[in-house]
């Protein structure tokens, strides 16, 4: 029972850390971040099972994490008012070609992050972005305006390349 309680406490703590850490932080893990996560995983397992390195302790810890994850997913599905608390909310970070600086600061992302994601989608100019949404998984969704601006000879002052 002790392992079950410690597993739930660690699960809640890690869930909170990921939620507070920001969507883009989770989506943009570097090689160093992955090594750090593996190390944290080992430290967390030591905190959960303490001196008990038995197969039973490992199964209880993994089962507790799995059931806690399934429970959160079920809550999000069956009780929609809880969904924003569990999964987060999508946020509009660019509207009509203008970055929403307050939202960028709140989500701890930079305009360069948006430029990079836009280039990956083949979008060359900020003014073509009608909406840019930071999704709950840390990815960006772009909704663009028509390409007629490129044909009218407008200056390239908002190029993001």
Sequential DSSP letters for 79-133: -GGGHHHHH---EEEEETTEE-HHHHHHHT--HHHHHHHHHHTT--BGGGEEEEE
Phi, psi of 134 (to 5 degrees): -85, 110
Beta-bridge partner residues of 141: 133
Residue 22 gets which letter from DSSP? Answer: -
Domain ranges of the chain: 2-87, 91-151
pLDDT of residue 13: 79
Q: d(Cα 136, Cα 22) in Å, to the nearest integer?
A: 9
* The model's pTM: 0.59
Along the 161 residues of the chain, how does pLDDT read in single tens digits? Answer: 777 887 788 778 777 776 666 555 555 555 555 555 666 677 667 666 666 666 677 677 777 877 887 888 888 889 999 888 887 889 999 999 999 999 999 888 899 999 999 999 999 999 999 999 998 878 899 999 764 444 445 555 556 65
Q: d(Cα 121, Cα 128) in Å, to the nearest integer?
A: 12
Q: d(Cα 45, Cα 53) in Å, to the nearest integer?
A: 10
CATH, domain range 91-151: 3.30.240.20
pLDDT of residue 150: 47
């Amino acid at each position: 029972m002790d392992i079950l309680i410690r597993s739930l406490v660690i699960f809640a703590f890690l869930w909170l850390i990921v939620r507070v850490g920001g969507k883009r932080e989770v989506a943009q893990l570097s090689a160093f971040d992955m090594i750090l996560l593996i190390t944290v995983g080992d430290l967390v397992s030591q905190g959960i099972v303490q001196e008990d390195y038995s197969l039973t302790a490992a199964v209880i810890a993994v089962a507790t994490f799995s059931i806690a994850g399934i429970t959160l997913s079920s809550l999000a599905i069956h009780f929609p008012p809880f969904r924003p608390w569990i999964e987060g909310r999508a946020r509009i970070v660019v509207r009509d070609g203008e970055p929403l600086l307050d939202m960028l600061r709140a989500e701890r992302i930079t305009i360069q992050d948006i430029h990079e994601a836009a280039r990956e989608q083949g979008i060359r100019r900020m003014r073509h972005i009608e909406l840019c949404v930071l999704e709950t998984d840390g990815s960006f969704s772009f909704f663009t305006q028509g390409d007629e601006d490129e044909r009218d000879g407008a200056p390239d002052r908002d190029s993001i390349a």
